[in-house]
Amino acid sequence: MCEGIRVIYSEDNRGQSGVAILLGDRVANCVTEIERSGDRLLSVRIQAFPVDIVIIQVYMPTTTHEEEEVDEIYETIEKRLENTKGKDYTIIMGDWNASVGEGEEEGYIGKYGLGKRNERGQKLVEFCRRQNMIATNTWFE
């Protein structure tokens, strides 16, 4: 805890990569569960009313990594969602290293996406469709 901020993190053993969530004192006191998966995935459960809040922070591998590593992270996220979805308010955020491209898609992707969709972007769109979630940063200009 530093100056009213709690830093919850997951990193590799070299200290060169990782993910973190920063919480103010009031919210930090409500953390009931922390789950780490290597240096690319971290989830925190916060006791709230009327339902708990689960924040999942992700840092997807870049295109220089094997596709199997990306698939493993998606599988881990989906397993966590099985335990939270429907009973908790769930936020997934982070760097997906994906480009969903311009243009709306079936209520999952808004009209303010950037660039041209790449393979990782298509994988993210498919994930959103399967999980009935939206890429919120594509909904605002």
Per residue in 17-46, pLDDT tens?
799 999 999 999 999 999 999 899 999 999
pLDDT in tens, 59-94: 999 888 899 999 999 999 999 999 886 789 999 999
- Across the beta sheet with 89-95, the strand order is 31-37, 41-46, 53-59, 89-95
Q: How do beta strands 31-37 and 89-95 pair?
A: unpaired
Calpha distance 100→34 (Å, rounded): 30
Mean pLDDT of the chain: 90
Does residue 83 sit in the same domain as residue 28? yes
Residues in Cβ contact with 119 at an 8 Å cutoff, skipping those fewer than 6 apart: none
DSSP string, 38-76: TTTEEEEEE--SSS-EEEEEEE---TTS-HHHHHHHHHH
- Is the pLDDT at 55 greater than 90? The verdict is yes
Does residue 88 sit in the same domain as residue 42? yes
Does residue 64 sit in the same domain as residue 28? yes
Helices and strands (H and E) in the chain: how many: 3, 6
Q: What is the pTM of this model?
A: 0.89
Owning domain of residue 114: 98-141
Does residue 109 sit in the same domain as residue 70? no
